[in-house]
């Protein structure tokens, strides 16, 4: 007899300055693609992904928010019922790391329930690093967040971010000590944290929305394009 797989719903909001690679990171995981010509996000983009971990499926909604200042007032609308937040910065641009700290403050100010926070340093394929691994890791620990480094361009460290989120959602939902073993990480190289899983897959649905002033408008935005940055 085939055992029915348990399904858990989750929601992830992705935050960060314009140009740090938020959408590129999502698209690399969800659609297995990378483009150097990804335009800036207008409002927000919505994607879905199915992640299978040890017999449990996490159906994940991913909200990719715009990094431009003019859309900042809209972003808190997407925090509602989120299980996790990805705070993305560019390791070669210190100002994006400093700006990310502002997003952390705004996030904590606007959420009612604790959520999992993941700080992500993108673009490790580049040599001109301005934010060290140690500094970013120390800051992440100071805000009770996990730290990952990745390269959306070279597909390094991307899967580990989403697998970690899926496992955290599973552990919180099931309160099962057996899943604590899924938190064991090992180093792939000096910059990338790894986690292991028996299986994972992803499917995608994505579009861009211009969000209105109320939370009810989030699901009814005007579709501008299928993909955005």
How many domains, the chain? 1
Residue 160: domain span = 6-212
Rounded-to-integer distance, Cα 177 and Cα 181, Å: 8
Evaluate whether residue 105 is within a structural domain: yes
CATH number assigned to the domain comprising residue 43: 3.40.50.300
Evaluate whether residue 174 is within a structural domain: yes
Evaluate whether residue 24 is within a structural domain: yes
Evaluate whether residue 118 is within a structural domain: yes
Evaluate whether residue 72 is within a structural domain: yes
Evaluate whether residue 17 is within a structural domain: yes
Tens of pLDDT along the chain (229 residues) come to 445 668 999 999 999 888 899 889 999 998 887 766 554 544 457 788 899 998 899 999 998 876 444 445 555 677 788 899 999 999 999 999 999 998 898 888 888 888 999 999 999 999 999 999 999 999 999 999 999 999 999 999 999 999 999 999 998 887 654 444 444 433 333 333 333 232 333 333 333 333 332 333 333 233 233 334 4
In order, the DSSP letters of 51-115 are: EEETTEEEEEEEEEE--SGGGGGGGGGG-TT-SEEEEEEETT-HHHHHHHHHHHHHHHHH-SS--
Evaluate whether residue 223 is within a structural domain: no
Evaluate whether residue 227 is within a structural domain: no
């Amino acid at each position: 007899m085939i055992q029915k797989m348990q399904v858990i719903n989750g929601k992830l909001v992705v935050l960060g300055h314009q140009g740090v690679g938020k959408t590129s990171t999502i698209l690399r995981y969800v659609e297995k693609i990378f483009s150097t010509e990804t335009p800036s996000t207008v409002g927000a983009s919505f994607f879905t992904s199915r992640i299978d971990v040890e017999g449990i499926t996490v159906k994940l909604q991913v909200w990719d928010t715009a990094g431009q200042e003019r859309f900042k007032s809209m972003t808190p609308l997407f925090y509602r019922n989120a299980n996790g937040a990805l705070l993305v910065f560019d390791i070669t641009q210190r100002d994006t790391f400093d700006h990310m700290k502002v997003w952390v403050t705004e996030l904590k100010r606007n959420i009612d329930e604790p959520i999992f926070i993941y700080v992500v340093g993108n673009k490790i394929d580049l040599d001109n690093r301005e934010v060290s691994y140690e500094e970013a890791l120390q800051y992440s620990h100071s805000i009770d967040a996990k730290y990952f480094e990745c390269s959306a361009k070279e597909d390094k460290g991307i899967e580990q971010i989403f697998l970690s989120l899926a496992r955290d959602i599973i552990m919180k939902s099931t309160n099962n000590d057996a899943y604590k073993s899924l938190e064991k990480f090992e180093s792939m190289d000096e910059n990338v944290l790894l986690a292991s899983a028996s299986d994972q897959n992803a499917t995608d649905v994505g579009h861009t929305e211009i969000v209105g002033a109320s939370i009810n408008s989030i699901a009814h935005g005007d579709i501008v394009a299928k993909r955005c940055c």
